[in-house]
Structure 1
Amino acid sequence: MGTAWELTKALREKIMRYSGYTQTSVSLRSMVQFGPNPNPGSLFLASQFIVEELPIRLALKVKDLENAPLGLSKMPSTIKVKNWYAQSFQELTELPKPKISEELTRLLKQGEQELSDEGDENSGNGVEYAKSFEERNNPANTESQDVAINNIFSDDGIVVRTSSSHLHGSINKARTANPTESPTFGKKYYTPCPPNIVWPKEVYDYNKLVFDTLSKIKKRHDATVATMAQGVQEWKHENKTIIVNSAIQTFLDRFYMSRIGIRMLIGQHIALNMAQSSPTRRRISALFNNEGGKENKSSSNYVGVICTDCNVAEIAEDAIETAKYICEEHYGLLEGPEIQLITPKDDISFMYVPGHLIHMLFETLKNSLRATIEFHTPKLKEAMCAENPDLKPEDIDINDLKFPPIKVIISEGYEDIAIKLSDEGGGIPRSEIPLIWTYLYTTVDKTPVLEPDYSQTSFKAPMAGFGYGLPISRLYAQYFGGDLKLISMEGYGTDVYLHLNRLSSSSEPLP
C-alpha cells in the first residue's frame, strides 16, 4: 500500500466532484448475462463501465467517512480506511484509457449490425443464457399483478420489494446530481457482442490491466470491516461508552451496505476475467472439461461469483462443517453439538452468491453452537453430579456431555428460499434483542484484538467477540432483497429466519 501516499488537496477536490455523480445500479440478472464463458468484447466494454462507475462509489465512501457522525471521522482507523478508498479512487481514475483502433471500431460496429439483424439469440451465450435461466427459475414472474411483488410494505421488519421501475423512480428523483454529467449515465454493465470474432490484442491488454488493478484494490480493502470495527472501538473508548449510538449505527449500516456493493462488482469482474480465455485456451479447456462427452457442471453453473444453480443444502453442509470445526477447536471438543439438516425437498437450488450465503449461515451457526454449549454445560454437569454425588463439576470432561441438537430447516416458496436455524441455547432476554443488531455488541468478556499488520487472508475466524456477525449477515441478506430475522424464547432457545429472494430481479440497494 505504501506509507508515502497522501490525500492531496487536488485529489480531494476531484473526489468531492465525483461524489456528486449518480451511481448506476447493476442488477443480478445483468451480471449473469455474460454466461459461463464471457465474451472478450463484452468484458472490454464492461471494464470501461467498471473503471467509470467504481470511482463514483469510492468517492461517496470517502465523503461519507469524512462526514462520519459524532467524531468517528477523526479516529485513526477511520482515517486509514478513508485513505484506502481515496488511493483506490486515484488508481482507477488515473488508468490510461484504452486506445480503440479502427479495427476494433469496425468489429464493434459489425457486431452491432449482426445483433440487430439476427436478434439477441445469436449474440453469444449472454442474453440467451440469462433469459433461459429466468424462465426456468422464476416461477413468480407470471405473478405480475401480485401485490406482494409490486408494492412495498413492512410487516414486523420484513420488507417486500416494490417493482424496480417504481422504486428506482422515487430514488432517482431524490438525487441532486445532474445525471447527464455522470460518466456512466446511460451506460450498462453488460453489452452483448457477437461470438466467433478474433478480438485484437488491445482488448485483452485492457481487460488484463483492469483485472490487475481491481485485484490490487480488492486486496487493499480486505481488512476494511475489521479496521472500521477498530475505529468504532476507538470512538467508544474515547467517548467512554459501551453501546454504539443510533447515529453511528445508521452510518455503519449505510457504510457496510455500500461496501458489499463495491465488493460484489469488483469480485464479479475479477471472476469474469478469470473465466475469459483466448480461442486456443477455450478449445483446450473444452477438451478437458467435456472429456467423454460430459459437461463440467461446476464450471458451467458459475458466472463470475454467482452460481446460477446454487444448491442450498450443499452450502448449508459446508457452513455446518466449518462452524463445527471452529467450535470444536475453541471449546476443546472431540465432537461439537449435532446439527441436523432438514430439507423437505431434495434439491432446492436458485441463483445466488454462494460466498454470501455461506457467510450468513456460518455466523448464525456459530452463535447457536456457542449458546448451546454455554447454556447447557453447567446444567448437564449439575445433572450428572446429582446422579453421582461423588462427582464434582470440575472433574467432568465436556466431551462426556450430550448437548441438544441444532436444527437447520430449508424451505422453498415462489418468492423466497427460507432457512430456519433453531437452537435450545437459552434464548436472549427481550431487552437485549434490539442490541444484537448493533455493531460491536457482544456478550464475550474480551473482544479479540487485531494486530497492526492484520490481513483478512491470514485471519482465523474467532468463535465470537467482534459483535459484527449478525448485523453484517443481515446486510448480506438485504442486499439481494432478502432479510434476516430473529425470534427468541428466553430460558429455552432462539430461532433465526433467513429469507433469500429467489426472483432474480432485484437491483442493488444504492443509497
Structure 2
Amino acid sequence: MFRLALSAGRRTPLTHIKSALPPLSSIPTSPPFSNSLKSRERQQHFSTSSSQISDYASRSQTPVSLRTLMETGRGDLLGRGGNSFEETPDKNLSTATDLVLMQVASFLRHELPIRLAHRIKDLDDVPMMKEMKSVTTVREWYIQSFDDLITFPPIKSKSDEEKFAVLLDQIYERHAGVLVTMARGAFELRKAIRQGKYGTEGKMDFEEMQAMHDFLDNFYMSRIGIRMLIGQYLSLRQPPMNDYIGMICSETSPAKIVQQAVDDATFMCTRKYGDAPSVVVHGASNLNFSYVPTHIHYIMLELIKNSMRATVEWHGIDEDYPPIKVIISDGEENEDVVIKVSDEGGGIKRSHMKRVWSRAYARFWGGDLSVMSMEGYGTDVFLHLSRLGDSREPLP
C-alpha cells in the first residue's frame, strides 16, 4: 500500500497560487534550465567564498509557524522586530500592503542566505553522495542562489521590493527540480555501490545507510521550509482570494481536499489499471481550520493513490474491490485534525516497515504520519495535522 513513487497525472489546482512543492504532473524529468543556461551557471565565477558560506552557516536559522506567517501577512507585526516601517495599516486588511511586502522581503533577504548556507554545508559534508554528479548540480544551484541573495542590496523602497520579488521567482524556479535531481543522485550512488566504488561487497553498512537517511530527511525538510517562505511571499503579491493569506487558508476544509484527492487518485488509478476501488469518506465534513491546502492535498493524494494501487494489485484486475475508507476526526476542541486511511490491500511485511518513508510534509507544521499494517490483510495510515497553528517548523 505504502509505495511512494511519484507518477504523473491530472491535477486540479486548489488555488491559483504557487505550491511549496511542484504538483505531481509538473515535476520535471530534467533540471529546469536549458543546457546552455546550466553551462553558463557552472562556468560563472561566483563572488561567494567558502568563508562567506561558513559564516552564514554558523548563524542560527529562524523557525516560523503558520500563525506567524498569517499575522505577518495581515500586517499585524508591522512596527515590531526592529524594522524601520512607521506606518501601520488597518488591522482588518487581509491583503498584502506595500509595507507588508517590504517587511517580508527584508526578512527573507536576511533568512534565506542562512538556510541556503546550512544546506550547502550539509551537501559538502555528506559522505559519498556529495561526489555524485546530480548532487553537485544541486549544490551549484544553492551556491548560485546564495550568491544572488547576499549581493542584493537592502530593501528600502517599493522598487527594491519588486526587484527582489523577481529574484525570488527566479530562485523558486531554479530549485524546482531539486527533488528529482537529488533522487537521481541517490540512484547514481546506488549504482556506484553496486559497482564496488563504495561500501563493502556492493553494500552499505547500517551506520552509512542511517547517515544517508538522516541527511536526506533533513535536506528535504529544509527544502519545504525554503519553498514555503518563498511561495508565501510570492503568493502575497498575487490578487487577494477570500479566506486566504498568501498560501494559507483560514477556512481549510479537510473533507473537500480529501474528495479532490480521491478524484485525482481515481483518475490516475483508472488510467493505469482500467479501474479503481471506491473510497468512502466519513467524519467531520464541516470542519475548517487554518492550514496550507496544497500540503494536505499532496499528502492525501499519495496516501489514497498508494491504497488504490495496493488494493488493485492485491485483489487482481476485474475483481470487486473492497472500498478504501477515509475517516476525518470529529470534535472542534481536538488538538489535531486526524485523517485515517484504511485499505485491504494486503498490508506491509513487518520486516519492511522500517523502509516506509514518513512524508516530511506531515511533520512540517507539528503533525505526524503513522502506519499500522496487518500483513495479508491491509494497512491503516493516520495523518495528524496540528490545528493550533503555533507549531514552528522543525529546522535541521
TM-score of the superposed pair, with normalisation by structure 2: 0.79
Q: 1:82 offset after TM fit, Å?
A: 0.7
Instruction: Judging by fraction of residues, say which structure has more helix.
Output: 1
CA contact under 8 A between 2:324 and 2:342: conserved in structure 1? Answer: yes
Q: Which residue number corresponds to residue 92 of structure 1?
A: 149
Match of 1:429 among 336, 349, 358: 349
The one-letter code matched in structure 1 to 2:328 is: I
Q: 1:336 offset after TM fit, Å?
A: 1.3
Correspondence 1:227-376 to 2 at 5 A: 227-240=181-194, 245-275=209-239, 299-331=241-273, 333=274, 335-343=275-283, 345-376=284-315
Q: Which residue number corresponds to residue 193 of structure 1?
A: none
Match of 1:402 among 300, 320, 329: 320
CA contact under 8 A between 2:46 and 2:144: conserved in structure 1? Answer: no
Q: In 2, distance between residues paired with 1:272 and 1:247?
A: 38
CA contact under 8 A between 2:368 and 2:383: conserved in structure 1? Answer: yes
The one-letter code matched in structure 2 to 1:350 is: F
Q: In 2, distance between residues paired with 1:91 and 1:214?
A: 9
Match of 1:82 among 132, 139, 155: 139
Match of 1:411 among 324, 329, 353: 329
Q: In 1, distance between residues paired with 2:253 and 2:303?
A: 19
Deviations 1:171-209 (A, max 9, x none): xxxxxxxxxxxxxxxxxxxxxxxxxxxxxxx32x22221
CA contact under 8 A between 1:18 and 1:59: conserved in structure 2? Answer: yes
CA contact under 8 A between 1:11 and 1:90: conserved in structure 2? Answer: no
The one-letter code matched in structure 2 to 1:420 is: K
The verdict on how the C-alpha distance between 1:242 and 1:483 changes in structure 2, with shifts beyond 3 A counting, is: farther
**DSSP 3-state at the match of 2:143:** helix
Q: Which residue number corresponds to residue 52 of structure 1?
A: 110
Q: In 2, distance between residues paired with 1:37 and 1:347?
A: 26
Instruction: State whether structure 2 residue 177 is matched by structure 1 residue 223.
Output: yes
Deviations 1:324-353 (A, max 9, x none): 11111111x1x411011112x330111111
**DSSP 3-state at the match of 1:409:** strand
**DSSP 3-state at the match of 1:245:** helix
Aligned residues between the structures: 326
CA contact under 8 A between 2:65 and 2:365: conserved in structure 1? Answer: no
Q: 1:246 offset after TM fit, Å?
A: 1.0
**DSSP 3-state at the match of 2:347:** coil
Match of 1:25 among 63, 66, 79: 63
CA contact under 8 A between 1:47 and 1:207: conserved in structure 2? Answer: yes
Match of 1:5 among 41, 56, 77: 41
Q: CA RMSD in A?
A: 1.7
The verdict on how the C-alpha distance between 1:242 and 1:302 changes in structure 2, with shifts beyond 3 A counting, is: farther
Q: 1:9 offset after TM fit, Å?
A: 7.8
CA contact under 8 A between 1:428 and 1:489: conserved in structure 2? Answer: yes
Q: In 2, distance between residues paired with 1:226 and 1:77?
A: 9
Q: Which residue number corresponds to residue 363 of structure 2?
A: 478
Match of 2:167 among 193, 198, 213: 213
Q: 1:219 offset after TM fit, Å?
A: 0.8
**DSSP 3-state at the match of 1:417:** strand
Q: In 2, distance between residues paired with 1:409 and 1:270?
A: 34
**DSSP 3-state at the match of 1:428:** coil
**DSSP 3-state at the match of 2:142:** helix
Q: In 2, distance between residues paired with 1:508 and 1:417?
A: 18
Match of 1:488 among 365, 373, 379: 373
CA contact under 8 A between 2:250 and 2:290: conserved in structure 1? Answer: yes
Q: In 1, distance between residues paired with 2:55 and 2:305?
A: 43
Q: 1:356 offset after TM fit, Å?
A: 0.7
The verdict on how the C-alpha distance between 1:249 and 1:89 changes in structure 2, with shifts beyond 3 A counting, is: same
Q: In 2, distance between residues paired with 1:59 and 1:346?
A: 43
Q: Which residue number corresponds to residue 84 of structure 2?
A: none
Gaps of 5+ in 1: 101-201, 277-298, 378-397, 438-470
Q: Which residue number corresponds to residue 72 of structure 1?
A: 129
Q: In 2, distance between residues paired with 1:38 and 1:242?
A: 53
Q: 1:216 offset after TM fit, Å?
A: 0.8
CA contact under 8 A between 1:207 and 1:273: conserved in structure 2? Answer: no
Q: Which residue number corresponds to residue 3 of structure 2?
A: none
Q: 1:90 offset after TM fit, Å?
A: 1.0
The verdict on how the C-alpha distance between 1:95 and 1:10 changes in structure 2, with shifts beyond 3 A counting, is: closer
CA contact under 8 A between 1:26 and 1:507: conserved in structure 2? Answer: yes
**DSSP 3-state at the match of 1:274:** coil
The one-letter code matched in structure 2 to 1:361 is: M
TM-score of the superposed pair, with normalisation by structure 1: 0.62
CA contact under 8 A between 1:415 and 1:501: conserved in structure 2? Answer: yes
Q: Which residue number corresponds to residue 54 of structure 2?
A: 16
The one-letter code matched in structure 2 to 1:494 is: T
Q: In 2, distance between residues paired with 1:352 and 1:10?
A: 37
**DSSP 3-state at the match of 2:290:** strand
Q: Percent identity?
A: 41
Q: In 2, distance between residues paired with 1:206 and 1:88?
A: 18
Q: 1:242 offset after TM fit, Å?
A: 7.4
Q: In 1, distance between residues paired with 2:299 and 2:368?
A: 11
CA contact under 8 A between 1:477 and 1:483: conserved in structure 2? Answer: yes
* Structure number with larger C-alpha Rg: 1
**DSSP 3-state at the match of 2:309:** helix
Please identify, of 44-53 and 233-242, the stretch whose mean Cα deviation from structure 2 is larger: 233-242
The one-letter code matched in structure 1 to 2:153 is: P
The verdict on how the C-alpha distance between 1:494 and 1:213 changes in structure 2, with shifts beyond 3 A counting, is: same
CA contact under 8 A between 2:347 and 2:374: conserved in structure 1? Answer: yes
Q: In 2, distance between residues paired with 1:212 and 1:55?
A: 17
CA contact under 8 A between 1:275 and 1:304: conserved in structure 2? Answer: no
